[in-house]
Amino acid sequence: MMKDKILLFLFLFGLSYLVQGHCHAQDNPSIAFVDFHSCVVESKYGIQQQKLFTHVEEQTQKYMVEIEMQLQDTIANLQDSDYVDALTPEAEEKLNAKAEKLTDDLMRQEDLLYQTRQIAQSTISQKMQQLINVAAKEVAKTEHIDIILGNQLAYAFPSSLDITSKVIAQLNKDFDEDPNAEKYEVPKMGFIQ
């Protein structure tokens, strides 16, 4: 909490310093805002990152459905008294062990899915933050903007200060010029069968 207050104070102090006319030797520095969420949702990079995330999640859920089906079949067999009566005691014990293992596997996969979601969201957010940072600096240079802030830092500002569409256009240009952009592969996850 104290760290957040110190960071906010430093940010506001630095911003007030810039606004007082010490930025690029100008008396009135230009300020603009960017919507991070829109950049993620609307840019080619962001759409690609979302597709990667969706692919990993679909693979994980597909595997979980397979485990669930096996578990349901095993439980159905255990609940079928005619089936159980026909089994040897060793076979019944193996069937119970299989049900227990499948239950454990399913719980482990649910935990891994949650962790994967958290890691993927964090990774995508960090990657997009880096890409947006580069694109925003390029827009700042071409548009002669001194300060670009995330729109979450302001409760209100005139729409004329919103340069999100320009940053998205720069992101898309960077994507089109990136020889590796289309080649990003879906990460291999060890728990996906």
pLDDT tens digits for range 134-188:
999 999 999 999 999 998 888 888 999 999 999 999 999 999 988 877 655 545 5
Q: Is the pLDDT of residue 12 over 60?
A: no
Which residue reads 């067999």 in tokens?
Answer: 77
For the chain, the straight-line distance linking the first and the last C-alpha, in angstroms and rounded, comes to 43
pLDDT digits (tens, 9 = 90+) for 103-138: 999 999 889 888 888 888 888 889 899 999 999 999
Strand partners, 162: 33
Question: What tokens were used for 168?
Answer: 């998205």
By the 10 Å C-beta count (0-12 exposed, 13-18 middle, 19+ buried), 171 is classed as: buried
Query: CA-based Rg of the chain, rounded to a whole angstrom?
Result: 26
Does residue 20 or residue 48 have the better pLDDT? 48
- Crossing angle of helices 164-177 and 89-143, rounded to 10°: 110
Which residue reads 């962790």 in tokens?
Answer: 115
* Residue 98 burial (CB count, 10 A): 16
Does residue 3 or residue 173 have the better pLDDT? 173
> Cβ distance 34 to 150 under 8 Å?
yes
Q: Is the pLDDT of residue 25 over 70?
A: no
- pLDDT computed for residue 124 by the predictor: 85
- pLDDT computed for residue 24 by the predictor: 47
- As a whole number, the mean pLDDT across the chain is 82
What are residue 146's phi and psi, to 5 degrees? -85, -40
pLDDT band at 10 (very low <50, low <70, confident <90, very high): very low
- Crossing angle of helices 89-143 and 44-79, rounded to 10°: 170
Cα–Cα separations (whole angstroms), residue 58 to 26, 54, 55, 70: 52, 6, 5, 19
By the 10 Å C-beta count (0-12 exposed, 13-18 middle, 19+ buried), 168 is classed as: buried
pLDDT band at 42 (very low <50, low <70, confident <90, very high): very high
